Chains A and B, each alone.
Chain A
Amino acid sequence: AQSVTQPDIHITVSEGASLELRCNYSYGATPYLFWYVQSPGQGLQLLLKYFSGDTLVQGIKGFEAEFKRSQSSFNLRKPSVHWSDAAEYFCAVGARQAGTALIFGKGTTLSVSS
């Protein structure tokens, strides 16, 4: 069955420290991969996406993610976290077919301490 696992429900990081959020997926073929961020009371904003090509993708707000096929992972990273990064982060996968709905992980809540 297709699924996305985000092993960490809640992570706290000090401001200025580096961040890595984990995402593992189970899928029959190479999927499209996404990271979305949701600030409190807001909708989801796309951070970055992987469709093909370079396995290290850059996104908005200084985030990057690396696709590792052998590990079925798509971890999100940021070298220096800002207090405004506190939010909920969702990893999602989609099939390589037009318009296919996404499968989301359950999310990781990021808290930033000063």
Chain B
Amino acid sequence: DAEITQSPRHKITETGRQVTLACHQTWNHNNMFWYRQDLGHGLRLIHYSYGVQDTNKGEVSDGYSVSRSNTEDLPLTLESAASSQTSVYFCASSAGTGFHEQYFGPGTRLTVT
């Protein structure tokens, strides 16, 4: 069955370190998204991609970057982790033709100490 996976599921890192969160989908979806979930804020969009070599900033993109070198993967990089980036991160994907619902990965819980 097609799926979307995230790794690691839990990560503890120190302030200032670079961290990369992986997202891999086997749906062959063109569109991929990164959200962060914080208490009282719901899910907020960080970055998104409509296809290979395409990336776009979302609502809360400062301090984050993404790259899309193939259809299956959209890694999220925290250039210099900050305590404010402690959160749960969700990756999602959707098909590219017309509008389709998004399918979510299981999430990565990141703690920055």
B50 cross-chain contacts in A, Cβ below 8 A:
98-99
Q: Of B41, B45, B94, B107, which is within 8 A of A43 by CB?
A: B107
Which residue of chain A is the closest to B49 with respect to CB atoms? A99
Q: Is A98 in contact with B106, judged by CB distance below 8 angstroms?
A: no
Can you list 14 contacts pairing A with B, beta carbon distance less than 8 Å? Answer: A34-B101, A43-B106, A44-B90, A44-B92, A51-B99, A94-B99, A98-B96, A98-B99, A99-B31, A101-B33, A102-B33, A102-B45, A102-B102, A107-B42
B99 cross-chain contacts in A, Cβ below 8 A:
32, 51, 94-100
Q: Of A32, A46, A51, A106, which is within 8 A of B42 by CB?
A: A106
Q: Classify the interface of chain A: helix, strand, loop or mixed.
A: loop
A94 cross-chain contacts in B, Cβ below 8 A:
99
CA distance A31 to B22 in the complex (A): 30
Asked if B58 is at the interface (CB within 8 A of a chain A CB), the reply is yes
CA distance A99 to B69 in the complex (A): 18
Given contacts A90-B42, A90-B43, A104-B42, contact A49 B101 (CB under 8 A): yes
Q: Mark B68-112, 1 if CB is under 8 A from A, else 0.
A: 000000000000000000000010101011110111111100000
A49 cross-chain contacts in B, Cβ below 8 A:
101
A101 cross-chain contacts in B, Cβ below 8 A:
33, 45, 48, 58
A51 cross-chain contacts in B, Cβ below 8 A:
99
